[in-house]
Amino acid sequence: MSFFCLLAARAAGFFNWAGSFFDTLFSDKVADATWALALATVGVAVITANGIKRSLRTDALARFTTAWDCSEVRQRRKRFATWVLQHRDEIPDIATSGVADVMDFFEDLGTLLRPGRLDKKLVWQAFADASVGWWLAIGEKYALDIRKTAKDKFLYSEYGHLVKEMQKITRGRSHEPENWTAAQISTFLLTEKNLFVGEAAPTTFRDRLCAHRRLGIRHK
């Protein structure tokens, strides 16, 4: 009788051990599955957030390109380019020259570029030549003058930052410094002066690149 009692006790011990083993095994698998699901959820969230961020950056840039090429702004660019060509040694008057139309546009663009709300390479493709061209033609001179007059060294600092970033990318692509000659600046201003103004502006990234290659500025 004692033999059967011993056998029953050992059997009971075995089943208790087996039960504990399988409970631990399945609980570990459930825990692993839970962690895997959590990690997958986080991964999906990160991918989705990055996709939304890229979309917002692209949409923001699209609004800038649309505004820059609309008929009204193109007309203002023509007017300002004409003024600069006729008053080479003068500081633009904000009331009559149209300087604010260009300066404020690129200041806003630079304001969004600095914190990364716009993609630098896409901004370069769309606005490198225009932003740098206007800065060299009159923008830097005007910014320095108005900072002195208003006693505010930060006026148009975001435009200046934009130009530095565009020049940095250009140097990285061409492996050469971007040097605009006086003749190239004049050609740029004449291009702006002779802009087509109509319901639809025939300007794309490729058009801009081809047009400004004629200035002798290398891009790769």
pLDDT tens across 57-73, in order? 678 899 999 999 999 99
What separation in angstroms does the CA of 117 have from each of 44, 91, 104, 137, 216? 22, 32, 18, 27, 31
Q: Kindly report the average pLDDT of the chain as a whole number.
A: 79
Question: Given this model, what pLDDT does residue 30 score?
Answer: 55
CA–CA separation, 77 and 84 (whole Å): 11
Element (H, E) at 187: helix 182-193
pLDDT-based confidence at residue 97 (cuts at 50, 70, 90): confident
Residue closest to 106 by CA, chosen among 163, 147, 191, 57? 163
If asked whether residues 39 and 84 sit together in one domain, one would say: no
Same domain as 97, residue 42: no
Same domain for 205 and 106: yes
Q: What is the DSSP letter of 116?
A: T
92 and 154 belong to one structural domain: yes
Q: Which of 47, 66, 68 is nearest to 58 (CA)?
A: 66
State the total domains in the chain.
2
Co-location of 98 and 38 in the same domain: no
Amino acid residing at 144 = L
Query: What are the structure tokens assigned to 134, written together?
Result: 């206007």
**Do both 3 and 103 map to the same domain?**
no
What per-residue confidence (pLDDT) applies to 49?
40
Residue 19 and residue 125 share a domain: no
Q: Residue 24: its pLDDT value, please?
A: 64
Task: Quote the domain boundaries for residue 41.
Answer: 1-57
Q: What is the DSSP string of 8-21?
A: HHHHHHHHHHHHHH
Domain final residue, candidates 57, 79, 95: 57
